[in-house]
Chain A
């Protein structure tokens, strides 16, 4: 098929874009970018077969195609519906979509605990963003929420099943990245849960990616657990010569300590390149990495707080004028116990406990 493929013209929120046949509405909207792109909780472009579960990406199709311009009767999941030539899609311009999305958020939050103050994902949680942007302030649910016991998925991954929204992303990751999957979704309906049979440890070099893939705080990094809030750590791009993966990562640092290592994420919150467990969990020293520079963080993200980009520090002139360095009235580390230079929180395996702090 040497001949040029015909591009489909699709109009989303009055913006026309040309895409290849077979593209989904969601990907066409992402090509436009900005607010036009519907939010997605389960769809992940790097995972085959993902999508179609969370219903947050619902859009209204006002005209099916040029050949058949009838509108689709119901809202469609944009991650699963492919475009047709001349299709007219309404996303944020449609009242129905906004109303439906608020309903979907309410459903997702039915069983999701509101333990954001405790959750390590807070600040980079997609469900937090989604409910902030599309949800309603209150809930009408009066019954007790679904709760589960905490599972340990191996030494590095913590599973909080209570927070899970059953997006299946981690199951697809384990299926497609590793050659044997030991976790999956058990039971049905309200009882459905991500679990491993007989608490089997997930031992695979790339299984740590399920943490990055998880849109909520159900799967979190145990080596970072409760160490710090995401927005107090500073993301920097770094790389290392890893023989298993590309070694392109983001380090989340406080001072000279590496608190957490994650894969780099694009503007849709999707991983750019998968990284291996060694990079993610074991390389927690600055000397292991070549730092490239601060990660670009959206100005609207809480993570950008306190991170001043593109400023030059004014030169210190006191020593030139006075002929000596200014006298320090107090070294904060002699008084404060927080961020003690002699203690590396990042080197404690797992979360800190009361005995870790008593020692000092």
Chain B
């Protein structure tokens, strides 16, 4: 039969030689490989003390952005939800009342906005689809949790802190992302 690749190795069915039968030499050969690795560069790091730097295009946990006046940018247009291949994003919209202009940027806003982090695959298509600069994928990953219910992130979990009311937390949320602008 014609082989599918040129990497086929026929099985060697020759009887073992004396040296192979006593195994000692083979064990020594195996140990050599193990010992060789002692002197190689370690691929692991001591995680909690040492942290690996994320790539500048790392896509982590979502945040909902605010504008410079601290108003929510999201207008519940549904483009992130329609772009989402995992169908993780759901929302419900409401109309802004007079007197709520300091809270919401547009006439319509997301009254409910949820991302199911169990479904999310962190592809970043929502970020790409957003016409209002409202959703971004940050440089942290979703923290682990014991219950599934905690993975349904509500709007309060996703919103970035208000830059005017809570500048410290806002700066912390922005982080020190070194992304080429």
Contact = CB atoms under 8 A, between A and B. Distances in A.
B92 A338 contact: yes
A216 to B, nearest CB: 16
Given A118-B107, A329-B148, A336-B90, A353 B78 contact: no
Nearest to B79: A117
B67 interface: no
A227 interface: yes
A186 interface: no
B92 A352 contact: yes
B97 interface: yes
Nearest to A302: B82
- Binding site of B, secondary structure by majority: helix, strand, loop or mixed? mixed
A337 interface: yes
B167 interface: no
A329 to B, nearest CB: 6
B94 A117 contact: no
A213 interface: no
Contact of A352 (B75, B90, B111): B111
Contact of B77 (A116, A227, A302, A352): A116
Contact of A335 (B94, B132, B152): B152
Contacts of B91: 338
A357 B92 CA distance: 10
Interface in A335-360: 335-339, 345, 350-354, 356-357
A118 B106 contact: yes
B135 interface: no
A337 B114 contact: yes
A338 B95 CA distance: 16
A226 interface: yes
Determine which residue in A227, A302, A351 has the highest number of CB atoms from chain B within 10 A of its CB, and name it.
A351
Contacts, number: 82
Q: Is the interface of A mostly helix, strand, loop or mixed?
A: loop
B78 A229 contact: yes
B112 A356 contact: no
Interface in B45-71: none
Interface in B93-119: 93-95, 97, 100, 106-108, 111-112, 114, 116
A286 B19 CA distance: 84
B94 A356 contact: yes
Given A232-B78, A338-B114, A226 B90 contact: no
B81 interface: yes
A357 B112 contact: yes
A305 B79 CA distance: 12
Contact of A351 (B82, B94, B132): B94
Contact of B94 (A232, A330, A352): A352
9 contacts: A226-B95, A229-B78, A332-B152, A337-B154, A338-B91, A352-B95, A354-B111, A357-B92, A357-B111
Interface of B: 75-79, 81-82, 87, 90-95, 97, 100, 106-108, 111-112, 114, 116, 131-132, 148-149, 152, 154
Given A115-B106, A337-B92, A338-B112, 4 more contacts: A116-B77, A302-B82, A351-B95, A352-B95
The 9 closest A-B pairs by CB, nearest first: A117-B77, A229-B78, A351-B95, A338-B90, A352-B94, A357-B111, A330-B148, A335-B152, A335-B149
